Structures are given as C-alpha cells and as structure tokens.
Amino acid sequence: MAAVDLGASSGRVMAGTAGPGTLSVEEVRRFPNGGVRAGPSLYWDILGLYRETLAGIREAGPLDGAGIDSWAVDYGLLDERGALLGNPVHYRDSRTDGVPAKVAATVSARELYDVTGLQQLPFNTLYQLVSEGDRLDAAATMLLIPDLLNYWLTGSIGAERTNASTTQLYDVREQTWATSLASRVGIPPRLLPPLRDPGSVVGPARELAGLPVVAVGSHDTASAVVAVPASPGTNFAYISSGTWSLAGLELPAPELGDAALAANFTNEGGVDGTIRFLRNVMGLWVLSETLRTWSCPDAELPGLLAAAAEAPALAAVVDIDAPEFLPPGDMPARIAAACRATGQRPPSGRAATVRCIVDSLALAHRRTIREAAVLTGRRVDVVHIVGGGARNELLCRSTADACGVPVLAGPVEAAALGNVLVQARALGEDLPDLAAMRALVRETQEVRRYEPSGGADWDAAEARLTS
Ligand code: ADP
Ligand code: LRH
C-alpha cells in the first residue's frame, strides 16, 4: 500500500506492508510543505502536493491500495462543475481574526461545544468558512484536503469522518453533519458532502490504472493514534508530536462537561468510533519557526538540541500556547518578550533559546495531560510520544520528567503506519480492532523508554508563567 501522509512541515509517501507479524513503512518520497505567502494571504501549495502525491504513489508501485491523511481543518471549495474555486488557505492565515467573537454572538460557546465537542481554535473550519462571506455563494461543495486529493484521484466526492470531526460542523453525538448549526452561522449545508467511514473504499484512481483508493483515518492525528503502541489495559496518554503536540487520551465517548469546555479540550472522532480527547499544544512549530528566523538549516537541529541539553534546565519558560506563537514570525523575539512580561531573563544565545522552547513544550505537555486525567477521572501511568518529536531525546526526557511518568517514544512515522493498518484491514487483512493493530505495532516497531528523573522543579516553573 502507499500511505500518503501530508504534515504541515513535510509530506511523505511511504510504501507500506502489513500482514501477520509484519508491519513496515519505507519512505519513497518526501517533500517540504508549508505556507506560501502571496499577496495578503497565506496559502498551501495544493497543486504541488497533488503532483508529489501522484509521483510518490507511482514510485511506490506495484500496489494493492493507497490512502491519504493530512493535517486537519483546511479545505478547498468546488463549484457545481467540480472545479476548484480559489487556492486553499493556510490555517495560520489571519482571515479568521475576530471571527470567533462574531460567531459567538449567534451561537454561544456552550452550545457549539454541546453539538460539536470541539475546542475553540481560531482556524476551525467553521470560522474559516464564515470568513469567506459571500464567496460561499459560488460554492457547491467543501472538501477537506485529503478529500480534495481523493476527489482528484477518483472523481468521488465525500467527507471522511475523522477529519470531518475537526471542522466544528460535525455533531459528535449524532455522528452527522451539524446542518442546523451550519445554517445558523451562514454556512449553506449543501457544502457538506456525504460522510464516509475510515476503512471504506473511495474508488479506483483514474490516473493510476484503477488502483483502489481507501479512505483511511484521513486526519493525520487519527491515523497516528491508531499506531500508538499502547499495551492492553494500560492507562496511557499520547502525544502526537510534530508541528503540533496533540496531547490527550482515547475515550469511548465524548466528554462535554463545563470543565472540559472551560479547559478547551476537544473531542475529535477517531478510527473505530473512539474519541480523541485532547488539546492542541503549540508544538515543534515554535522550534522550526525559530530555525527559520535564524536561517538555520534543518540539518543543524540535532546539533542544536545536543547543545540545548547541556544548557541549564528551566532557566526560562514561556506559555507556549499563547496566541502570539500561532502566526508565522520571529519566534526568538516573541519568546524574549514573553520572558520579560513574566519577570524572567530572556534566554541568551541559540542553545538557551532552544532549551527554553523544549522546556516550555514539556511544561505544556504536563499541564495538558494532567488536566485530561482530572477532567476524565482517569489515571495516566505512561505517555506515548509518536511522530517526529519522538526523535527529539531532550523533549522526550523532559516530558517524562515534567509528567512524572515514563515516556515511550516511537514510532516516528505513526501516521503513515496507522494509514497502512486501516488500509490493510479494508483490503482484507485480519486486524479486527485497534488492539490487534497496536499489538502489531508493538511487535514490529522500535520504541524507546525514558524514565522520569525527578530533578527539576516543574511546579515552580509553571508558577513563573503567571507571576
Ligand atoms: P508534521 O507531520 O506536523 O509535519 P513531523 O511529525 O514530521 O511533523 O515532525 C516534524 C518535527 O520533527 C520537526 O519540526 C522536528 O522538530 C522534529 N524532528 C525531525 N527530525 C528530527 C531529528 N533528527 N531530531 C530531532 N527532532 C527531529
Ligand atoms: C496536526 C493537525 C492537528 C490539527 C492541526 C491543524 O497535523 O492535524 O490535529 O489541529 O493539524
């Protein structure tokens, strides 16, 4: 199978195999991804992503199937003939500034949460669509990024459920589009295409000799959580660590209480009817944007992290989730300003700055996982870190220290593995449930264990953020 995994910082096409005792993914093609600023807007290079996807799938052949997952919330609009209306806009674009407050005047946060269970993020699809105003008049269909690419591959229009659940237009209890909510905020329900389950076949790819395209858990985080190598019966939390840290718990049903709303936790739909109860922590975006500010190539990251590991722990920390870290820009300057605002001396030099980012991220991991446990009345005995952040030893070690429980790091390519596992099942492999899929991940993938050391005072560091 070809697993196409499009992250906000890179896209990759992996050739994957799954069977009894076997699970592997091998990188066939990797390409950079990110925002393209043109005029006043920040876009994705959607045609470039489609071209790379097609080329990667061709390189991965011969194949039994292909599946696409990507970052959530963003979309393309089609007219009634199926043509793309405008280039998809990046969720870090400023077009939704002020929109959530306007929507709140029509539908309260409590009501929105009751229906959708989603955390308030300024870039939720609902807010992006509202920001389009009367441009929506020309649109017949809204397709999220993987659904758009699937449409171009197969001609079939639909919305895969795990990603639909990130739009804030999906009824988390009824598992349908929240059409009356959409109408109330001015989004025509005709834009919302028929829903499809992860694991269903989208159709044959016309340009790929009829290769079956499978709707995987098309939200990358849904696919990544499938491949969390949790052992049966353990009380685990997960962090899908990449551009974002998606940190939380897997639940059988949504948690929609006032405390969860106040703590801004989300209830996204997972594969096999599970709920991802988590919060978006700002993630390694702040580090990659810092490197960009310094014109420092990615290849220098391991060296910088090694230097940061030698710098003193918790010398300065910031609230990494503060809104000023969301848009692209000069992160070192924003970090220095945040330190000054909380009476701390800003980090001096690159190693100290990287240390500050990693410590601040670990602190946010701790805060988020502790809150998830309290909100659900569950214990957390181990934290799984999957995704690119599993390669960051300092982050894994600091997260274990901060959370006070062991961290199990890996697999790095969890999203691609989850993508392959769901495809394999759709194509007839005997993988009856998530437990069977995770058993295969445990059996076949490398996982590294980090014990908490108990050295640093994380409570004191947290207190500094509010001083
Ligand atoms: P996304 O899917 O959001 O694009 P990834 O899961 O690919 O993100 O993770 C990308 C991040 O992984 C990078 O921003 C970087 O911080 C981290 N990373 C990648 N390679 C390494 C490495 N060799 N050492 C440490 N961290 C790494
Ligand atoms: C991670 C992710 C996350 C979303 C964000 C927009 O790649 O899908 O789950 O909140 O991108």
pLDDT single digits (tens) 292-345: 999 999 999 999 999 999 999 999 999 999 999 999 999 999 999 999 999 999
Whether the pLDDT of residue 445 is over 90: the answer is yes
Portion of the chain with pLDDT greater than 90, in percent: 99
> Could you tell me if the CB of 387 is within 6 A of ligand 1?
yes
The predicted-structure confidence for 255-275, as pLDDT tens digits, reads as follows 999 999 999 999 999 999 999
Calculate how far, in angstroms, residue 240's C-alpha sits from the geometric centre of ligand 2. 10
Judged by its nearest atom, the ligand closest to the C-alpha of residue 144 is 2
Per annotation, catalytic residue among 5, 69, 220, 401: 220
What would the mean pLDDT of 15-23 be, rounded to a whole number?
Answer: 96
Q: What token pair was written down for 300? A: 């220098």
Q: How many CA atoms lie within 13 A of 122 on its CB side?
A: 17
What is the phi/psi pair of residue 76, to 5°?
A: -120, 150
For the stretch 176-211, pLDDT in tens is 999 999 999 999 999 999 999 999 999 999 999 999
Taken as a whole, the chain contains a residue count of: 467
With bands split at pLDDT 50, 70 and 90, how would you rate the model's confidence at 172? very high
Q: Is the dihedral of CA 284, 285, 286, 287 positive or negative?
A: positive
What's the average model confidence in pLDDT over 399-419?
98
Find tokens 């996807």 and name the residue: 53
- Distance between CA atoms of residues 9 and 14, nearest Å: 16
Q: Any catalytic annotation for residue 64? A: no
Residue 83 tokens, joined? 């043509």
Pocket test of ligand 2: the residue of 9, 44, 70, 73 to mutate, having most ligand atoms within 8 Å of its CB, is: 73
Please state the rounded mean pLDDT for residues 165-179: 98
Which residue's alpha carbon is at the smallest distance from atom 8 of ligand 2? 71
Strand positions, DSSP E, 206-320:
211-215, 236-241, 245-251, 266-269, 275-281
pLDDT 10s digits, 147-159: 999 999 999 999 9
So what's the pLDDT on residue 419? 98
Do 23 and 17 contact (CB within 8 A), yes or no? Answer: yes
Report pLDDT for 452: 97
Answer whether residue 33 shows pLDDT above 80. Answer: yes
- Enumerate domains of the chain plus CATH numbers: 2-218 (3.30.420.40), 220-411+446-466 (3.30.420.40)
Q: Decide: 323 and 425 in contact? Cβ < 8 Å.
A: no
Q: Coil, strand or helix: which one is 152? A: helix
Q: What is the pLDDT of residues 39-92, one digit of tens each?
A: 999 999 999 999 999 999 999 989 999 999 999 999 999 999 999 999 999 999
Give exposure, 208-230, as e/b (b: 16+ Cβ within 10 Å).
Answer: beebbbbbbbbbbbbbbbbbbbb
Q: How high is the pLDDT of residue 455?
A: 77
Enter the tokens of residue 163: 């990603």
Quote the DSSP letter at residue 41: E
Burial of 444 (0-12, 13-18, 19+ CB in 10 A): middle
What count of Cα atoms within 13 Å lies in the side-chain half-sphere of residue 402? 26
pLDDT digits (tens, 9 = 90+) for 411-441: 999 999 999 999 999 999 999 999 999 999 9
Q: Residue 222: what pLDDT? A: 98
Residue 454: band (very low, low, confident or very high) from pLDDT cuts 50, 70, 90: confident
Interface predicted TM-score (ipTM): 0.99
Q: What ligand has the least distance to the C-alpha of 5?
A: 1
Smallest Cα–Cα separation from 282: which of 383, 358, 381?
358
In the predicted structure, residue 459 carries a pLDDT above the cut 80: yes
Helix-strand-coil percent breakdown of the chain, rounded to 5? 40, 20, 35
Q: State the Cα–Cα distance between residues 380 and 104, nearest whole angstrom.
A: 34
CA 221 to ligand 2 center in whole angstroms: 7
pLDDT at 148: 98
Neighbouring CB atoms inside 10 A of 420's CB total 32
Our answer on whether the CB atom of 128 is closer than 6 Å to any ligand 2 atom is: no
Ligand 2 lined by 353 (C-beta under 6 Å): no
Do 347 and 339 touch, CB atoms closer than 8 A? Answer: yes
Does the beta carbon of 141 lie inside 6 Å of ligand 2? no
User: Is residue 60 helix, strand or coil?
Assistant: helix
Local confidence band at 355 (pLDDT 50, 70, 90 cut-offs):
very high
The alpha carbon of 242 and the centre of ligand 1 are apart by a number of angstroms equal to 6
